[in-house]
Amino acid sequence: MKRLLLLNGPNLNLLGTREPAIYGHETLDDVVALVTTTAAELEFDVRAVQSNHEGVLIDAIHEARTDCAGIIINPGGLTHTSVALRDALTGVQLPVVEVHLTNVHAREEFRHHSYISPIASCTIVGAGVQGYEFAVRRLARLLG
């Protein structure tokens, strides 16, 4: 069975309690359950990793090159700052779908730039937790 890497960056462990008016009431566990269920319907397995540390995320991306078919990533605040995360994603040569819970383009100007979007196969913004479901389905289609 093919595997997908679900990667969530800094502060996403606080989903459900961090600014619920902006990010909603669903938790990271809800996200992982949704992705796992959706992926199973499409005959994919999921490895989920969340970290507040850039190096841990990069290590997970490097590991994915040996046993994953694609990556779904919500890089959190690293979206706007991390060339190293972008380099890791391009280095493993796996399809990437970028997800953001909110419409980052309707928020503060610093959130409008993503180092990940130009190298992603698809970017999903503003769909809330459902964006992760869309990401699984899009990645499955890309992988055939």
Quote the pLDDT of residue 127. Answer: 94
CA angle 48, 63, 14 (to 5 degrees): 30
Quote the pLDDT of residue 102. Answer: 85
CATH number listed for the domain at residues 2-143: 3.40.50.9100
Write out the binding residues. 74, 80, 87, 101-102, 111
Percent of the chain whose predicted confidence (pLDDT) is above 70: 100
Please give the full DSSP string across 5-59, using - where no structure is assigned. Answer: EEEE-TTGGGTTTS-HHHH-S--HHHHHHHHHHHHHHTTEEEEEEE-S-HHHHHH
Residue 21 has pLDDT above 90, yes or no: no
How far is Cα 128 from Cα 125, in angstroms, rounded to an integer? 8
**Averaged pLDDT, 87-99:** 98
| Mean pLDDT taken over the chain | 95
Query: What are the sequence ranges of the domains in the chain?
Result: 2-143
Predicted model pTM? 0.94
Residue 108 has pLDDT above 80, yes or no: no
User: Hey, which residues are catalytic here?
Assistant: 23, 100
Write out the binding residues for substrate. 74, 80, 87, 101-102, 111
